[in-house]
């Protein structure tokens, strides 16, 4: 017993001697140099919406946002001093009394476990790696010397600011600002006394005092700090009692897994690394300020339009991109799980194409054929036969096996002769098959690339029916030239990226290129307005001038609506995920009791979004076109195959019988006297390689599996 007491007295004497050594070393020896600069702490990067509000934080292992001391509430400053170091504002950076007290506890416990450090010591230990983490007397001496030197070089306010911006508070949050957001969804400047006391109390053991696992401990440590604040006159007893009554309005530990515009934020993160060549370290730990184009009001409208339309757990996936006509991405939804950060870090249907399983655009691709048709000098007043099905015998449209290309209208619909506007608004496949055959698939492909910037296109006739893959981002961008008299913008998500020191790493402005003749663009728009009035999306108007096109692929696998006003272009897609094992995609044959085509739920989502997004903004009109061009089959009906000229498309008055033509005739023969009145001779003829069955014959082409994009000449027989 006597030896134990003697040993303890020797240790106490050693501690006193250690304190003296520290003081002497700090005064005279100086063999522990203070680094010339404080190491830069990793801090989170902030993503801002276009109104300056915070969208999200990017961070690595340390979620930290550095803010000046005047943006950290006095409540938290005083709470931390009361909980950690009551003599902070008067000590020299090192507390001999605290060190002796800690050593005494360590001696009684038989090991060095008690801290006894000042706030300054805690700070230098955290930022200067050369001190080390192992608890030894030598480390304590180095730590104390650095703390004393640090306190001489910097003011107490500077030290407290640095400490509060670097210390760990639990929940992955480093520093006061990140902690305030992680626990209370507020800023460090707005912390209440109760909230601040809790955060100060958990610094020694943040994981132990988590409110979800230890609610009584969380309240108890808060109350302990409030009592300390009363002891040192930071609070009166009445104020402390009132603070206890305030409660602790914690947000759930998983709340950070939800975010506004989660898919847009993840798209921006990937863009910074892939397009702007910023390193992962810069983005996650560089404290960057990232300014974006996202409109919070439109984003909320986009998320709500999807979630309010697709309400069942087994509903298909959906994606949407809304883009201002200058190219600024205003809203982006990458799946039905609209705010889930972890889901957003996976697959984004708005901007990504699954490898080998691109989602086809269906008839939403027809406007590019329409633009090619008008750009080639043809008039939208042209009239086409629109039977249920046709066969195209030209070599350029043959299937890979050499068979003729068979095309059928959606749901086997049969139309009377229609002009181009009617064919487009009703999405008549057999008319668009004749158009691509007339124009040539290479010409249509070139126009689609020119207008929309598409790269993954095959120059095959089925391109007119949308057998090439596309994303909502591509489609929203590709429709903008129709609204802007031919100007296609570069998609714009990131406006500016600035480092904590003010260095500008990225500085973008809207940029557009003239890709289409203005009158061609205006004519396409005039045609597409009819889709919403009396076409496949009838009843989906938004109470102001708008235009658009539906798209539905074979077997109801994908459904689209892409529409626009003079200021905003929006693409909506729906479809089930493709099974990665079987590579099969379920059909949308019964969603909320209906078969999903582009004019149903996708158009509903589009309508709901556009009404909300544009509410309160002035309505604008499209520019009216000048209708020009050569007319194919002006008025009246063309003759069925075998009953008229094979090279010319002769037009007759409605109801008139067709004359019998000689096999070699290339000119329109006169109608038999008294039986028919020939129509005006058309200014253009169609190639003689379209087989149109007689009205009494139904042609049902054998189904053909689609070859991969770039190789197929055949196309779905049932798209709209």
Q: Report the alpha-carbon angle 605-608-609, nearest 5.
A: 85
Among candidate residues 633, 688, 681, 687, the one with its CA nearest the CA of residue 663: 688
Summarised one tens digit per residue, pLDDT across range 77-88 is 999 999 988 888
Q: Exactly one of 73, 335, 363, 425 is catalytic; name it.
A: 363
Q: Is 673 a catalytic residue?
A: no
For residue range 214-262, what is the model confidence (pLDDT) as tens digits? 899 999 999 999 999 999 999 999 999 999 998 899 986 554 445 689 9
Task: Select from 135, 129, 140 the least CA-distant residue to 98.
Answer: 140
For residues 156 and 94, the model is more confident at 156
Please give the pLDDT value at position 583: 82
Q: Which residues contact 17 (CB under 8 A, 6 or more apart)?
A: none
User: Which residue spans within 370-486 are E strands per DSSP?
Assistant: 383-386, 389-392, 405-408, 415-419
The tens digit of pLDDT for each residue in 535-575 reads: 999 999 999 999 999 999 988 999 999 999 999 999 999 99
Residue 48 C-beta-side C-alpha neighbours within 13 Å? 13
- Which listed residue (44, 73, 84, 391) is catalytic? 84
Q: Judge whether 84 counts as a catalytic residue.
A: yes
Percent of the chain with pLDDT over 90: 53
Helix (H) or strand (E) holding 264: helix 262-274
- Average the pLDDT over 432-456 and give the result: 94
Model confidence pTM above 0.85: no
Contacts within 8 Å (CB) and 24+ apart, 270-276: 271/493, 271/494, 272/494, 272/497, 272/506, 276/494, 276/497, 276/505, 276/506
Span of 30-39, 190-199, 255-264, 606-615 with lowest mean pLDDT: 30-39
pLDDT at site 712: 35
Across the chain, mean pLDDT equals: 81
d(C-alpha 588, C-alpha 574), whole Å:
9
Cβ atoms of 637 and 417 within 8 Å: the answer is yes
């Amino acid at each position: 017993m006597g030896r134990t007491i003697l040993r303890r007295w020797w240790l106490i004497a050693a501690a006193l001697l250690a304190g003296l050594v520290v003081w002497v070393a700090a005064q005279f020896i100086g063999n522990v140099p203070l680094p010339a600069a404080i190491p830069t702490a990793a801090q989170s990067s902030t993503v801002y919406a276009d109104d300056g509000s915070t969208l999200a934080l990017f961070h690595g292992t340390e979620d930290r946002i550095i803010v000046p001391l005047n943006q950290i509430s006095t409540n938290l400053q005083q709470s931390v001093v009361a909980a950690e170091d009551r003599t902070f504002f008067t000590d020299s950076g090192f507390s001999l009394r605290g060190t002796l007290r800690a050593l005494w506890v360590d001696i009684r416990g038989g090991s060095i476990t008690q801290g006894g450090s000042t706030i300054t010591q805690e700070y230098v230990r955290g930022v200067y790696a050369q001190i080390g983490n192992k608890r030894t007397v030598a480390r304590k001496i180095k730590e104390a010397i650095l703390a004393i030197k640090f306190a001489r070089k910097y003011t107490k306010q500077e030290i407290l600011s640095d400490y509060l911006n670097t210390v760990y508070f639990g929940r992955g949050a480093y520093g006061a600002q990140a902690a305030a957001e992680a626990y209370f969804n507020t800023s460090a400047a707005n912390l209440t006394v109760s909230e601040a006391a809790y955060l100060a109390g958990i610094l020694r053991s943040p994981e132990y005092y988590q409110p979800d696992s230890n609610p009584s401990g969380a309240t108890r440590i808060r109350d302990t700090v409030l009592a300390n604040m009363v002891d040192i006159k930071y609070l009166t007893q009445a104020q402390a009692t009132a603070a206890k009554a305030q409660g602790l309005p914690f947000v759930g530990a998983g709340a950070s897994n939800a975010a506004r515009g989660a898919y847009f934020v993840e798209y921006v993160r990937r863009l910074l690394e892939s397009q702007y060549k910023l390193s992962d370290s810069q983005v996650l730990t560089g404290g960057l300020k990232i300014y974006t184009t996202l409109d919070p009001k439109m984003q909320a409208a986009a998320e709500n339009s999807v979630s309010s339309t697709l309400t069942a757990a087994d509903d298909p996936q959906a994606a949407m991109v809304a883009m201002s006509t200058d190219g600024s991405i205003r809203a982006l939804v990458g799946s039905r799980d609209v705010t889930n950060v972890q889901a957003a870090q996976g697959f984004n249907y708005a901007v990504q194409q699954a490898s080998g399983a691109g989602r086809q655009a269906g008839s939403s691709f027809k406007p590019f054929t329409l633009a090619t048709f008008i750009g080639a000098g043809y008039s939208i007043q042209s009239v086409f036969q629109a039977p249920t099905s046709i066969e195209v015998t030209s070599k350029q449209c043959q299937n890979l096996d050499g068979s003729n290309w068979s095309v059928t209208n959606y749901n086997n619909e049969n139309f009377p002769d229609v002009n181009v506007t009617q064919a487009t608004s009703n999405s008549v496949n057999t008319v668009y098959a004749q158009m691509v055959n007339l124009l040539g698939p290479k010409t249509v492909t070139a126009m689609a690339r020119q207008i929309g910037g598409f790269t993954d296109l095959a120059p095959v006739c089925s391109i007119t029916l949308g057998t090439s893959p596309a994303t909502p981002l591509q489609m929203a961008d590709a429709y903008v030239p129709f609204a802007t008299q031919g100007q296609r913008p570069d998609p714009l998500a990131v406006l500016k990226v600035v480092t904590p020191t003010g260095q500008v790493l990225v500085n973008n402005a809207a940029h557009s290129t003239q890709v289409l003749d203005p009158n061609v663009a205006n004519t396409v728009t005039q045609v597409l307005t009819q889709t919403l009035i009396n076409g496949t999306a009838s009843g989906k108007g938004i109470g102001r001038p708008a235009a658009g096109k539906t798209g539905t692929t074979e077997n109801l696998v994908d459904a689209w609506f892409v529409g626009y006003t003079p200021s905003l272009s929006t693409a909506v897609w729906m479809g089930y995920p493709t099974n990665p094992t079987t590579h099969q995609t379920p059909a949308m044959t019964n969603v909320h009791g209906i078969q999903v085509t582009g004019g149903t739920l996708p158009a509903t989502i589009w309508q709901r979004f556009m009404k909300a997004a544009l509410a309160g903004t002035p309505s604008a009109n499209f520019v009216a076109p000048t209708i020009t061009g050569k007319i194919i089959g002006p008025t009246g009906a063309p003759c069925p195959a075998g009953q008229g000229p094979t090279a010319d498309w002769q037009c007759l008055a409605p109801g008139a019988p067709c004359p019998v033509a000689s096999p070699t005739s290339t000119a329109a023969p006169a109608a038999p006297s008294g039986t028919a009145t020939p129509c005006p001779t058309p200014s253009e003829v169609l190639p003689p390689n379209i087989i149109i069955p007689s009205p009494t014959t139904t042609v049902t082409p054998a189904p053909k599996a689609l070859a991969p994009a770039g190789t197929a000449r055949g196309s779905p027989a049932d798209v709209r």
